[in-house]
């Protein structure tokens, strides 16, 4: 019987199907069409260049064995790549990979797998129509809800995260934007949501990526003229987690492509989770249309942990490490490291390490020495409470008066100065500053900052207030 391209390929498929999983066969071999048979060279059509690269990397040996069985030792495989260009030109294009340079069956060198262009993301791009790819989530399983302790400072964000994890894409928290200062647990919470979704819905495609890495991938896709593949890849994600979204600031091209990806995911009921060091209202150089989408769901702030939460964090960390520590030392640590969970955990690790390596008991004196050295080498963030106290003392009033509704000029100016320094010296959002300084809104804080700038440049006495307070706040 005369062999045709189709009969040869059908026989190859029978052999391949017996040697791989049904899912892999359905994903990577069912979409292939036999095109032509010329002597010992079989031409097959694949949906995209990435599809071809994936076959070369993962199935080249299997293809070689299958084709050798059908066409002998001199068998060659020629790929014909066809992909619809969905953005711009709607005409499909065809590219033929010459067997002389790209044949999977050319010689022994075929055993060297085609190198993945992007080792961080196992599947850098995706083929339209191929849905069930095994995409590496990039999640850290050590960041989970069990070790993300709840407190007043994070209750809203944690509860919203749990709701999203239980019903991704099915709550009004889409997108969920988690924002707050450095070291308060934004990345931890984002991973925890992703990890729980993967546990609860193993079939869902979850991907965690930093905004910086996303930008690098986009630039690379433009250079290689495969922007469409880049977009297709992100459009098949079920749960997309982007860390430090504020880093898209000023990057017009990346913002534009993220806008289209976001719209597609949102319209198709997919979940988007973002983290940022500031609230949407405080983000600079981000397109308004993108900012408006960030506000569609819930923006949940992580604030500095209170004393009780800091105590819980220390005890949990000690329990995990199997270390006992006197209560007075735990309270000392909680009282002296207030603004940053990362600093707090770092101090605990340093204390345990010094005790272990030097074979010394953990004492209060050792804790004082560690905290003193640790804090000395760590940039501390001034708290809003501290700023209000310093400003109130300077103007010889109490904090309650500073926060009051009175419109007396000297009290209003003191309040505006407190807001000005809170904006300058902390990572808190305008909304958070306003809330903590007399239950004002973010517009009031913005107005206060502009007023202080204006008065400092036109009023000599007011400028002295600013300089005196700057010295007192040691900045």
- The reply to whether 88 sits in an annotated binding site is no
CB proximity list for 454: less than 8 A, separation 6 or greater: none
Q: What is the radius of gyration, based on Cα positions, of the chain?
A: 29
DSSP lists the bridge partners of residue 272 as 240
Query: Is 438 annotated for ligand binding?
Result: no
Cβ distance 317 to 198 under 8 Å? no
CA distance 234 to 143: 23
Cα distance from N-terminal residue to C-terminal residue, the chain: 88
To the question of whether residue 183 is assigned a binding role by annotation, the answer is yes
Residue 350 CA, chain-centre distance (Å), reads 28
Q: Are strands 93-96 and 271-276 parallel, antiparallel or unpaired?
A: unpaired
The CA distance from 371 to 375, in Å, is 6
Distance CA 361, CA 354 (A): 9
The b/e string for 435-458 (b: 16+ C-beta within 10 A; e otherwise) is: bbbbebebebbbebbebbeebbee
Alpha-carbon span 38 to 40, nearest angstrom: 6
Under a CB-based contact definition with an 8 Å cutoff, are residues 166 and 118 in contact?
no
Alpha-carbon distance values, 448 to 3, 334, 454 (Å)? 83, 33, 10
CA–CA distance, 191 with 273 (Å, rounded to integer): 10
Tell me how crowded residue 249 is: count the other CB atoms within 10 A of its CB: 14
Question: Binding site: what residues are annotated?
Answer: 183, 185-187
Question: Binding site for ATP: what residues are annotated?
Answer: 183, 185-187
């Amino acid at each position: 019987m005369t062999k045709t391209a189709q009969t040869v390929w059908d026989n190859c498929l029978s052999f391949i199907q017996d040697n791989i999983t049904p899912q892999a066969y359905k994903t990577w071999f069912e979409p292939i069409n036999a095109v032509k048979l010329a002597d010992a060279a079989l031409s097959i059509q694949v949906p995209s260049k990435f599809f071809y690269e994936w076959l070369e990397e993962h199935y080249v040996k299997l293809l070689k064995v299958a084709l050798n069985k059908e066409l002998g030792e001199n068998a060659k495989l020629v790929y014909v790549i066809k992909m619809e260009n969905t953005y711009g030109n709607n005409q499909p294009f065809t590219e033929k990979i010459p067997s002389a340079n790209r044949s999977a069956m050319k010689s022994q060198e075929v055993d060297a797998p085609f190198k993945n262009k992007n080792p961080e993301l196992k599947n850098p791009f995706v083929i339209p129509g191929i849905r069930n790819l095994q995409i590496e989530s990039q999640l850290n399983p050590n960041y989970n809800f069990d070790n993300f302790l709840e407190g007043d400072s994070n209750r809203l964000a944690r509860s919203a995260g749990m709701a999203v994890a239980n019903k991704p894409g099915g709550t009004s928290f889409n997108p969920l934007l988690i924002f707050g200062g450095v070291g308060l647990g934004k990345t931890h919470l984002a991973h925890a949501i992703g990890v729980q979704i993967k546990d609860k819905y193993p079939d869902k495609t979850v991907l965690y990526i930093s905004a910086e890495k996303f930008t690098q991938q986009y630039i690379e896709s433009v250079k290689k003229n495969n922007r469409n593949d880049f977009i297709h890849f992100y459009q098949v994600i079920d749960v997309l987690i982007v860390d430090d979204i504020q880093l898209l600031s000023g990057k017009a091209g990346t913002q534009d492509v993220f806008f289209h990806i976001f719209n597609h995911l949102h319209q198709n009921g997919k979940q988007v989770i973002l983290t940022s060091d500031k609230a949407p209202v405080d983000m600079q150089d981000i397109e308004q249309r993108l900012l408006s989408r960030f506000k569609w769901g819930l923006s949940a702030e992580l604030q500095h942990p209170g004393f009780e939460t800091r105590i819980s964090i220390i005890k949990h960390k000690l329990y995990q490490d199997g270390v006992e520590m006197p209560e007075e030392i735990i309270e000392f640590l909680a009282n002296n490291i207030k603004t940053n969970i990362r600093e707090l955990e770092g101090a605990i690790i340093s204390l345990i390490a010094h005790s272990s390596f030097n074979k010394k008991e953990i004492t209060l004196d050792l804790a004082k020495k560690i905290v003193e050295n640790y804090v000395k080498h760590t940039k501390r963030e001034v708290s809003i409470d501290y700023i209000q106290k310093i400003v109130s003392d300077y103007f010889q009033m109490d904090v309650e008066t500073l926060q009051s509704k009175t419109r007396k000029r000297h009290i209003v100016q003191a309040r505006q100065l407190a807001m000005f320094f809170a904006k300058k010296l902390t990572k808190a959002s305008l909304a958070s500053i306003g809330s903590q300084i007399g239950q004002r809104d973010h517009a009031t804080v913005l107005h206060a900052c502009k007023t202080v700038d204006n008065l400092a440049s036109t009023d000599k006495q007011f400028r002295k207030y600013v300089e005196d307070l700057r010295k007192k706040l040691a900045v």
